[in-house]
Amino acid sequence: MKSAKITAKGTEVTIFQKEKEDYISLTDIAKYKDSERTNYIIQNWMRNRSTIEFIGLWELLHNPDFKGIEFDAFKNEAGSNSFTLTPKRWIASTNAIGIISKSGRYGGTYAHQDIAFEFASWISAEFKLYLIKEFQRLKSDETRRQQLEWSVSRTLAKVNYLVHTNAVKKHLIPDDLSKSGQRFVYADEADLLNLALFNKTASAWRKEHPHEKGNIRDAATIEQLVVLSNLESFNSELIKEGLDADTRLKRLNQIAIRQMKIMLENKSFKKLEG
């Protein structure tokens, strides 16, 4: 789970990602108003009928498992003097996903950015603007870093591709083969790697994405590019060993599956991504 911190108007606010969605700490936002009574501030906000309607509508739009009947009951009670609502009660009763109650190191109440900005607006319109500005800066920095990492991985794959094509030229292309024939051999070997990693050829990907710029490798993730670079090196060695294409494809596919699994599960690599 990736987490980050931003500072808005002197208040440090924690953000973490869950399933590629950003959740912002309501507890930290509440500290801008009163650092000693954050739970009370959040509960006071959740007592409002307008709040219930907003977070309920958000759930209806994003959560197919949201319990609408319980939501209607809360909406009918909201605003009365006796009505109280905590984040945990809201989550347990409605199966909500837009608000999260966490314990541990990053404990507190978090909410999806849409809901968190609404809460910040209730706290202070000025604070909300500073919070949005810092959040946008954070996301911009993340995008630039990911683009740089992708570019480095793409360059590495291209460098290893030179090693790969050299092995193809030396061991698979006869000296008397025509230029056009050589291009077919190179293309076949490139597609062997594509099949091993992406389970499709470059032309098949192009048919599926007729309006996309670039090629199948330009659309690859950082993890895929790292594995592709490794596959190019492996295939070079398999070619030198004289293995046929079918045998190499099977071996390369096994390697690709194993390495992608490790890559996606490895915490240090996730930390590298940001």
Pairing of strands 11-18, 99-102: unpaired
What is the C-alpha separation between 104 and 126, in angstroms, rounded?
31
Same-domain pairing of 169 and 250: yes
Residue that is last in its domain, among 93, 123, 153:
123
Burial class (CB in 10 A: 0-12, 13-18, 19+), 120: buried
State the DSSP string of 158-169. HHHHHHHHHHHH
Q: What is the largest CA-CA distance in the chain?
A: 91
How do the pLDDT tens digits run along the chain, 274 residues long? 477 898 999 999 999 888 888 999 999 999 999 989 999 999 999 999 999 999 999 999 999 999 999 999 998 888 788 888 999 999 999 999 999 988 766 679 999 999 999 999 999 989 999 999 998 888 877 767 666 666 655 565 565 555 556 666 666 666 666 777 677 777 888 888 889 999 999 889 989 988 887 888 888 887 888 888 888 888 888 888 888 889 999 999 998 998 888 777 765 444 444 4
Q: State the residue range of the domain holding 255.
A: 143-273
What is the C-alpha separation between 163 and 185, in angstroms, rounded?
15
Q: Which residue has the tokens 């958000």?
A: 58
Residue 39 in 3-state DSSP?
Answer: helix
Enter the pTM of the model: 0.55
Same-domain pairing of 269 and 157: yes
State the DSSP string of 195-209. HHHHSS-HHHHHHH-
Query: What is residue 268's predicted lDDT score, i.e. its pLDDT?
Result: 47
Residue that is last in its domain, among 59, 90, 123:
123
Query: What is residue 17's predicted lDDT score, i.e. its pLDDT?
Result: 85
**135 in a domain, yes or no?**
no
Query: What is residue 166's predicted lDDT score, i.e. its pLDDT?
Result: 65
Residues 6+ apart with CB under 8 A from 25: 13, 14, 15, 106, 108, 109, 110, 116
Query: What is residue 222's predicted lDDT score, i.e. its pLDDT?
Result: 78
Same-domain pairing of 164 and 107: no
**129 in a domain, yes or no?**
no
How many CA atoms lie within 13 Å of 249's alpha carbon, on the beta-carbon side? 14
Query: What is residue 271's predicted lDDT score, i.e. its pLDDT?
Result: 47
What phi and psi values does residue 43 have, to the nearest 5 degrees? -65, -35
**130 in a domain, yes or no?**
no
Same-domain pairing of 105 and 195: no
Residues in the chain: 274
**12 in a domain, yes or no?**
yes
**Assigned token pair, 249:** 């494809």
**134 in a domain, yes or no?**
no
**240 in a domain, yes or no?**
yes
Query: What is residue 162's predicted lDDT score, i.e. its pLDDT?
Result: 58
Query: What is residue 260's predicted lDDT score, i.e. its pLDDT?
Result: 86
**73 in a domain, yes or no?**
yes
Structurally, how many domains does the chain consist of? 2
**256 in a domain, yes or no?**
yes
